[in-house]
Structure 1
Amino acid sequence: MFISSWSGLVFLFMAGSGFNAFIFEHKHLLSVLLGLEFMMLSIFGLLSVAITGVGLEAYFVMFFLVLAACEGALGLSLLVSIVRSHGGDYFSSFGVLSC
C-alpha cells in the first residue's frame, strides 16, 4: 500500500520523531507544542500521500489542515497567556494550586 513507498515511510518517521519530542522533551511548553505541531504536519503529509495514492477527493485533507492550524493558534495563545501570568514556559514553575 502507501506505507511501502518512501514518502509514507518518511512521514511515519516524522510522526515518530514528533511523538518522541512530545513525550521526552517536556522542560518547556514551547518544545511540547512544537512536537505536537510536528506530529500534526507529518500526519497531514501521510494523509495527503494516502489520499493521492487512492485517488479520492482531498477535502478531508484540507479540513485536517484547517484543524491543525486552529490547534496551533490555540496552543500559541495558551503559551502567551502562561508566559504573561507565570513569567516563563518552564513546567517546573507551574504550581498545582496557583493556576
Structure 2
Amino acid sequence: MNSTALTIMCLMPILAMINMLFNQTHFLMTLLSLESITLSLTLFVPLMLMNCSAANTAMAVILLTFGACEASLGLSLMVSMSRSYGSDMLKSLTSAKC
C-alpha cells in the first residue's frame, strides 16, 4: 500500500471527528458524522493491525456490529424526537419550554 493511501486512511477518523464537532445543528447531521467515524474506524483498525502483524481480524466485524446497533438506535431516537418536538434540531432539546 502506498504512503498516500496510508496517510488518507490515518486522517479519516480525525477528519470525521472534526466534522462531528462542527455539524451539530441537526440530529441527522450528527448521526451521519457518527456513522462516518464508525466507517473510518472500520477501515482504520484492521489496517493498523495488519501493520503491527497482529492476527486479530475479527475486530472489523465487531466494529461493524456496533456501527449497525448505533445506526438503528440513532434512527429510532431521531424518529421519536421528531415526533415529540416537530424537528430534528438539537437546540430544541436544550431549550426550556415553560
TM-score bracket for the superposition, by shorter chain length:
0.7 to 0.9
Code of the aligned partner of 1:11 = M
* SS of structure 2 residue aligned to 1:89: coil
Structure 2 unaligned spans of 5+ = none
The TM-score with structure 1 as length reference comes to: 0.81
Q: How do 1:1-99 residues align onto structure 2 when only pairs under 5 Å count?
A: 5-53=3-51, 54=53, 56-95=55-94
Q: Equivalents in 2 of 1:12, 1:82: separation in Å?
A: 34
* Counterpart code for 1:69: A
Deviation at 1:96, TM superposition (A): 5.0
1:18-77 Cα distance to aligned partner (Å, 9 max, x none): 111211111101111111110111111011212334251311221121111111111111
**Cα RMSD, aligned residues only:** 2.2
C-alpha separation in 2, matches of 1:94 and 1:57: 41
2:27–2:88: 8 Å Cα contact kept in structure 1? yes
Unaligned runs of 5+ in 1: none
Q: Which amino acid aligns with 1:49?
A: L
Percent sequence identity over aligned pairs: 28
Q: Secondary structure at the match of 2:65?
A: helix
**What number of residue pairs does the alignment pair up?**
96
TM-score in terms of structure 2 length: 0.81
Shift of 1:94: 2.2
